[in-house]
Amino acid sequence: MSFLNDRLSIELPLIQAGMAGGITTPQLVAAAAEEGALGTIGAGYMGASQLKDDIQRVKQLTDKPFAVNLFAVNLESFSNEIGRMQQFLNGFRSKLEIGHGTDFVKVNDYLHEKVHVVLEEDIRVVSTAFGVLSSFLIQRLKENDVTLIGMATILDEARQLEDAGYDAVVAQGYEAGGHRGTFDINRYPDGSNIGLHVLAQELMDHLTIPVIAAGGIHNKKQVDAFLEMGADAVQVGTKFLVAKEAGTNAAYRRALMKADTGSTKITKVFSGRPARAIRNQFVREVEGSEIAPLPFPIQNQMTKDIRGAGKEFAIADMQSLWAGQGVGAIHEEESAADIIASLVGSNASGAAIESGDDNGLSNGSGR
Amino acid sequence: MSFLNDRLSIELPLIQAGMAGGITTPQLVAAAAEEGALGTIGAGYMGASQLKDDIQRVKQLTDKPFAVNLFAVNLESFSNEIGRMQQFLNGFRSKLEIGHGTDFVKVNDYLHEKVHVVLEEDIRVVSTAFGVLSSFLIQRLKENDVTLIGMATILDEARQLEDAGYDAVVAQGYEAGGHRGTFDINRYPDGSNIGLHVLAQELMDHLTIPVIAAGGIHNKKQVDAFLEMGADAVQVGTKFLVAKEAGTNAAYRRALMKADTGSTKITKVFSGRPARAIRNQFVREVEGSEIAPLPFPIQNQMTKDIRGAGKEFAIADMQSLWAGQGVGAIHEEESAADIIASLVGSNASGAAIESGDDNGLSNGSGR
């Protein structure tokens, strides 16, 4: 029995990751929930009213519980020291025939407002990335019986989450797509990059709260192996990017289906934070320029219009093609239901839940 | 039944990795063999007569089969364009009070001579790193019924090994300590770095020969998980560095026992090839100098006297402290027998061998 089942009556030991940027449509989240997994709205970068809309649309599609993923840091930020990078990026803008960038950048992620929406809408699970929510926000969420799932990339982060009162922790392996969840980028400029099987094992050895394995997982044999190791559940992102219900644009989908296991790298060029993406022209040229990316979230804001044009004009080379190392095994679009079946097919889910229950030792039934 | 058992009557699905540089003493290799694992002499950088001596000493200690690990590339190399790096390294030499470096560097790893010794001594298993042996050497070894195990860090390399007639392939995950096995360093300057559970799964999906999982594995739960996933066996290196029988020097041992999971990084400063080591003063200073390391094996030869002085004077900061990400779980010296028991304890080995046999599905007995 996984803690997801125990606390939330989620049938499968599987979380659809809360990827930000319009990927996790209400249709995707609801489909994951209907199939018995924990669907997640990726609410990073999202406005509070958009989040409210999305939550209400998911509720129209399913009455199962689902999660909202938030960035656990206050992204309010302002910078006007952006000259060299902005100038370099204007080269891309000229080619894309879009307007040049401004002289300053301002960002606000409206974390408190989004927590307010979560409570108003009676969301049962909040997952977070990049840090630990403030004790004020944790208290508000816990008073309202919200289950809290944090993300850690190294033992020290996991301990911070446990100490702060989180209910479970996602071990984000080096293999994972998108942003490294690393809390302190000054300490780990390239991300704290531990292979998933080492990290998951270490967190299980040292924490008392449940551990969820994430990063590069794309099939049932891997899921079974991590449950066997003692993980409470697994979280999958990249594979859901090609779900028919996902908001992934067509050029991005094609790039995912063409990529192989060695096609991705961890780079700061898109956002200023290390993140795993498919190597494309934007990555190569910005890295080749040797102009250092600005800090997160400034760099993210600065590249937003270029990435937006990449989406609109279907140019994969000008987008952030987030992908985990499992991308090499993804060759076709599928329904969320088929993806979930391929991860925790009928005889897997039974064995899996048992396996989670008795600490990695299966009783052999159903296998 | 793993292929090790089937072909060589090796009882356990476990290989003691063939680490170079005096680590794999005859005592360590023989102890691993006696316990039922495949012990391996790490013969990279070793002279042919030293290899012959070591083989004969292992044979005095055990009558079980064991392996010899070779670099599958001809390292014969000469360079006199070493000025800036040599000058920088002379700074370390001055502090260590050892002689300054020469103006040229010459290297020869005597691969053909060592293959001759292997055949003369009737060694049953040869494992290789960094590439594929020439068809001439493969033919000589196969004519003499030697089992060939290659190491791959990415699917393309594994396919080259399979096509060349290798009998099994070690999937070397990103987590692994020491040199990345990457064949083409020009294509992957930082190593082809795929997390083990993704790489192992991909090789199992695409190869017909058995796959052995390596990188960061340090306990029975991980071993069981990889066997569950379908690996034929696992290979372990770092944990054997602190075996009482290993040739690891005292300062290196202490550094291993103090390190945590985040203490290692992949660096080219020691040898010119990407390799995972504990961050120490040498790594920080050479990386901080921004003088590019010379190509392998020139850089390796250039740093050899400094690393040698580091060993002799018990200065961990001047050694190549190779270690995988599993190093965080290593806290004490143990006998090889205890290490092997902790990896594949009695009820594990039974389940393990069954698991390998029926493609990752256990029949539940013995668990």
Report residues of chain A scoring pLDDT below 70.
Answer: 346-367
Q: Which residue has the higher pLDDT, B143 or A81?
A: B143
Percent of chain B with pLDDT over 90: 82
Nearest-CA residue of chain A relative to B155?
Answer: A261
* In contact, B360 and B5? CB cutoff 8 Å: no
Cα–chain-centroid distance for residue B11? 21
Q: 3-state class of B67 per DSSP?
A: strand
* In contact, A240 and A19? CB cutoff 8 Å: yes
Q: Which two tokens stand for residue B188?
A: 């992957």
For B1-74+109-245+335-367, CATH number?
Answer: 3.20.20.70
Q: What pLDDT shows up at residue B257?
A: 98
CA A202/CA A145 separation, integer angstroms = 28
Nearest-CA residue of chain B relative to A327?
Answer: B198
Specify the pTM: 0.90
What does pLDDT average to over chain B?
A: 92
Class of the CATH domain delimited by A1-74+109-245+335-359: alpha beta
Question: What are the extents of the domains in chain B?
Answer: 1-74+109-245+335-367, 78-107+248-332
Site from B183, B218, B221, B266 to mutate, A interface, most A CB atoms within 10 angstroms: B221
Q: What pLDDT shows up at residue B354?
A: 41
Distance from CA of B176 to the nearest CA of A (A): 9
CA A310/CA A252 separation, integer angstroms = 9
In this predicted structure, the answer to whether residue B358 has a pLDDT above a threshold of 50 is no
In this predicted structure, the answer to whether residue B353 has a pLDDT above a threshold of 60 is no
Nearest-CA residue of chain A relative to B265?
Answer: A193
Across the range B140-150, mean pLDDT stands at 97
CA B267/CA B178 separation, integer angstroms = 10
| Nearest by CB: A195 against B154, B195, B362 | B195
Q: Does A154 touch chain B (CB under 8 A)?
A: yes
Q: What pLDDT shows up at residue A346?
A: 64
Q: What pLDDT shows up at residue B357?
A: 40
Percent of chain B with pLDDT over 70: 94
Q: What pLDDT shows up at residue B346?
A: 64
Q: What pLDDT shows up at residue B356?
A: 39
* In contact, A166 and A149? CB cutoff 8 Å: yes
Q: Say what the ipTM of the complex is.
A: 0.86
pLDDT, tens only, B77-92: 788 778 889 999 999 9
Q: What pLDDT shows up at residue A9?
A: 92
CA B22/CA B283 separation, integer angstroms = 21
Distance from CA of A232 to the nearest CA of B (A): 14
In this predicted structure, the answer to whether residue B366 has a pLDDT above a threshold of 70 is no
Q: Which two tokens stand for residue B250?
A: 């005292």
Distance from CA of A51 to the nearest CA of B (A): 34
